[in-house]
Structure 1
């Protein structure tokens, strides 16, 4: 723990955890051959500031997170037993090799193509069930929790449960785009209904994609039972202004402000 951070400065969510996606740190590093900024050091600063987890999305082309980063972060997180490691990606590409080697706390299955710019849609569970079911079972055999990246479709939650997934990760780009517009309430209501359907079936709920300091509190306040938010792009961008430690504090405060967490006593 960072001795420069007083205990009262650290905010630990009682329910909703903050997992910091460090892909963009790796992306910046990869533009030169100097090894800076350090992905592991960035993750350490986030954990010291109170983040409850680290997320990576190692793509086959290694345009940001590389195989070496995945392993280095796995070793780092052994020093933080209270923190969770989330590795996301397409399980039909390179994801499962990392899951077998690292056995993280969570595998988030994302239906990206190899050349996809960024994640932009959830699984079509009816179409992809036969491919996903044995991979979910394999993860469970390794002791790894499985979350499926999903659009806000309440009617799809029963199929997710039938597949055996433990959680969904709500793809929140549509909410982020609608935030602050006349469509915000309508779009947010769809996420609320999806979360309610998931909870009724015993599924856990994660969320991520374009969540930021402006929209995070409203989302967690409206969507019941959010266990974890995974935030990368906006958080790293904010860190350019505030620094990583202060930025993590600000995101944790946004979670507290939603009423989903308590300050550390």
Structure 2
């Protein structure tokens, strides 16, 4: 059984985490298949957008704690902590950076719980949409005595501020999909039965963007986090120096003047 289902239709690749009986924990084997799926997206120039979702009643409940109960045998000289940190750095972290660096936009459709590392996975997308019954939950510190991981401590305060990030980390409370949308943690909250159709509609819209658009947006917002206003203004003008001379700008201007939608080439 595939632990990540890979389907492509009309230029949109849908990646579905597929361990529904266990609520889609990020078991090592599932992570390997997700890594391979991201590589397929990168290699397939016909893919212009991605939807990431979960099978069954949950998006992803984070680590597979049943495989971390101390009954395993870490390699000689390693503790369970050593082993966990090593495979996070070699396998889990490249999934987060891989999602952020895909050459196409990523929509995450959160169908049910996103807990623990599943929150980081959901927020690594460019646009995150959640069903009304979904929620976001960080059990790391209140339940396990460990720190939030897989990018949670990076994504959450940048989206909602330190106060709400600290509350999520410490108060052992679920943040509903509606509240997450109100806070700005995610793009929107929709009825459960509309989640996947809406996510696919968003992905199809994003698939029509210029091929370089998503990476330009990612880079611009990342630069703004380390720049002064003057530095960011300079960054913006230097990007326009290059981008205005690209074919996409010419097509956009022509479409505007001709009162038609622009048609941008694929990647």
**Fold conserved (TM > 0.5)?**
no
The answer to which structure has the higher helix fraction is 2
TM range (shorter): 0.3 to 0.5
Relative contact order, higher structure (CA 8 A, sep 6+) = 1
Larger Cα Rg: Structure 1 or Structure 2?
2
- Normalising by the residue count of structure 1, what TM-score does the alignment of the two structures yield? 0.34
